[in-house]
């Protein structure tokens, strides 16, 4: 016996449902600036290690910029958490910024055994976060969906 396949019609979503809210755009902008800043750090370190000792100053200035942008990202992630009810960007930001802070002080102390691998992990974590914030719209979640996702 042949049976007719049932087609499930999905309701069409308006474009407004897919738009990222301004708070989400702020987080995207800060994460993007953070990415640009952090990608220069291995370049400056490589130039220094190849014998240009002035590049250590560039690396230090870059570290100050990366760390400052990271703290701005914490503020943006708090805004996303409060206004859009999304906790995950905040938790991811805190993990990256905590690693950056440890890495910053390891670099100042000259603990290269910690500074270099933690730098690689920090860049990898920020790349993953960059992809995550640009992959889907950052918009307010309904309260019941928020509770299910945060559990």
User: Given a cut of 90, is residue 35 above it in pLDDT?
Assistant: yes
Asked, for residue 2, whether it belongs to a domain, the answer is: no
Asked, for residue 6, whether it belongs to a domain, the answer is: no
Q: Where are the alpha helices (DSSP H) in 22-87?
A: 22-49, 55-84
User: Given a cut of 90, is residue 143 above it in pLDDT?
Assistant: no
Between CA 50 and CA 45 the distance in angstroms is 9
Asked, for residue 65, whether it belongs to a domain, the answer is: yes
Reported confidence tier of residue 8, pLDDT bands at 50, 70, 90: low
- Residue-wise pLDDT tens digits, 60-78: 999 999 999 999 999 999 9
Asked, for residue 12, whether it belongs to a domain, the answer is: no
Asked, for residue 129, whether it belongs to a domain, the answer is: yes
* Dihedrals phi, psi of 20, to nearest 5 degrees: -80, 135
pTM, entire model: 0.79
Asked, for residue 8, whether it belongs to a domain, the answer is: no
Distance of CA 86 to the CA centre of its chain: 14
Asked, for residue 148, whether it belongs to a domain, the answer is: no
DSSP H or E stretch at residue 149: helix 143-150
30-41 burial code (b ≥16 CB/10 A, e <16): bbeebbebbeeb
CA distances from 135 to 18, 50, 112, 118 (A): 11, 37, 34, 25
- Residue-wise pLDDT tens digits, 102-142: 999 999 999 999 999 999 999 999 999 999 999 987 777 66
Asked, for residue 10, whether it belongs to a domain, the answer is: no
Contact present, 20 and 63 (Cβ < 8 Å): no
Domain count for the chain, please give it.
1
Domain extent, residue 56, equals 20-137
């Amino acid at each position: 016996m042949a049976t007719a396949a049932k087609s499930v019609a999905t309701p069409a979503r308006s474009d407004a449902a897919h738009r990222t809210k301004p708070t989400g755009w702020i987080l995207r902008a800060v994460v993007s600036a953070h990415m640009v800043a952090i990608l220069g750090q291995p370049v400056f370190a490589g130039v220094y290690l190849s014998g240009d000792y002035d590049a250590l100053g560039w690396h230090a200035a870059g570290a100050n910029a990366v760390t400052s942008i990271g703290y701005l990202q914490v503020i943006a992630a708090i805004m996303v958490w409060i206004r859009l009810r999304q906790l995950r960007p905040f938790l991811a930001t805190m993990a990256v910024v905590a690693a950056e802070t440890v890495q910053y002080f390891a670099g100042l102390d000259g603990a290269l055994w910690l500074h270099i691998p933690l730098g690689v992990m920090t860049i990898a974590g920020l790349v993953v976060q960059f992809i995550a914030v640009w992959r889907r719209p950052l918009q307010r979640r309904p309260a019941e969906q928020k509770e299910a996702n945060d559990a």
